């Protein structure tokens, strides 16, 4: 007896294909077209931003922010996940508190951060009321780029750490309690159990969280743009500036391609490193 599927099962792919074409395929093709459309030369849009140093400055700040924020988020999320996974009395309350930033957009986080660090914000009010400052401390504006940079870093760590935390906490649920009980029988200390049992099992979850946060870190926009504008340029912020303020879609598209290329390179590096380590582990 033969069974003929017919065309009905393939019809279910039509909505998915239509979605990919409309929201991924066409925008991608249009981005390439705009980026390489220039009256003088095909690479004119890229040369325009590289010659002035705008692209390299934005890329430098984006890389620095990512290099600081991502490891800090991973370490903080791991510590919080290990602490909450102890399931002490009231741990659910702490779990909800840690997860609150997940419900906030980057715009909301930036506005909250500004209300804290602005000249009339909570930090300055507290310092002045305690007599620790005679005048407001400025964190934003020309000449205060270093302070503004660290405000962005703190805001990003606070805003996005819960995402990494949830991934790692879910990974902790896969740690078999029998392994830990056997380790107690053999007299393993807490640090030994952490390094020899928990972290190796958590490795896939940690690496997945690291990859996701790294890719998102290169797309940082709302926090940096609302707090500092172009005082601290970032790639996504420059794309927004050229599109919405300068009304130059061609240069904006070139920035979009740069963000995409950087994300692809980082993803490739992660995948190559992970694959090589898995092969080494399998051989061992």
pLDDT digits (tens, 9 = 90+) for 98-148: 888 888 888 999 999 999 999 988 999 999 998 888 889 999 988 899 999
As a three-state string, the secondary structure of 82-130 is HHHCCCCCCHHHHHHHHHHHHHCCHHHHHHHHHHHHCCCCHHHHHHHHC
Give the domain ranges of the chain: 53-283
For 81, counting Cβ atoms within 10 Å of its Cβ (0-12 exposed, 13-18 middle, 19+ buried), the class is buried
pLDDT digits (tens, 9 = 90+) for 263-276: 888 888 877 776 65
| CATH fold for domain 53-283 | MetI-like fold (1.10.3720)
pLDDT of residue 281: 52
Tell me which residue of 201, 196, 213, 195 sits closest to 270, measured CA to CA. Answer: 213
Q: Does the structure show a pLDDT above 70 at 2?
A: no
pLDDT of residue 110: 92
Tell me which residue of 233, 230, 218, 227 sits closest to 269, measured CA to CA. Answer: 218
Tell me which residue of 2, 142, 149 sits closest to 65, measured CA to CA. Answer: 149
DSSP reduced 3-state for 26: helix
Q: Which residues contact 94 (CB under 8 A, 6 or more apart)?
A: 84
- Specify whether the CB–CB gap between 212 and 205 falls below 8 A: no
Q: Rounded to whole angstroms, how far apart are CA atoms 8 and 280?
A: 45
pLDDT digits (tens, 9 = 90+) for 155-189: 999 998 999 999 999 888 888 888 887 887 878 88
pLDDT digits (tens, 9 = 90+) for 13-66: 888 899 988 888 888 899 999 999 887 788 888 888 888 888 999 999 999 999
């Amino acid at each position: 007896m033969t069974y003929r599927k017919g065309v009905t099962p393939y019809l279910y792919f039509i909505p998915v294909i239509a979605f990919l074409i409309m929201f991924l395929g066409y925008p991608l093709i249009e981005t390439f077209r705009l980026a390489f459309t220039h009256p003088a030369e095909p690479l004119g849009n890229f040369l325009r931003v590289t010659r002035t140093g705008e692209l390299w400055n934005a890329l430098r700040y984006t890389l620095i922010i990512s290099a600081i924020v991502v490891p800090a988020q991973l370490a903080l999320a791991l510590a919080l996940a290990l602490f909450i996974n102890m399931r002490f009395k009231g741990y659910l309350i702490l779990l909800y508190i840690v997860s609150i930033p997940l419900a906030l957009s980057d715009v909301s986080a930036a506005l909250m951060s500004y209300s804290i660090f602005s000249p009339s914000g909570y930090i300055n009010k507290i310092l002045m009321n305690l007599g620790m400052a005679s005048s407001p401390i400025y964190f934003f504006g020309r000449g205060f780029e270093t302070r503004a940079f660290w405000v962005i870093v703190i805001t990003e760590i606070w805003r996005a750490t819960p995402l990494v935390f949830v991934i790692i906490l879910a990974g902790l649920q896969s740690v078999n309690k029998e392994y830990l009980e056997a380790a107690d029988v053999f007299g393993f200390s807490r640090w030994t159990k952490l390094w020899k049992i928990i972290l190796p099992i958590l490795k896939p979850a940690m690496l997945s969280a690291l990859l996701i946060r790294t890719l998102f870190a290169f797309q940082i926009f709302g926090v940096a743009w609302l707090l500092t504008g172009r005082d601290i340029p970032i790639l996504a912020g420059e794309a927004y500036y050229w599109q919405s303020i300068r009304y130059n879609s061609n240069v904006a598209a070139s920035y979009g391609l740069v963000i995409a290329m950087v994300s692809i390179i980082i993803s490739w590096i992660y995948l190559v490193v992970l694959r090589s380590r898995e092969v080494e582990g399998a051989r061992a």
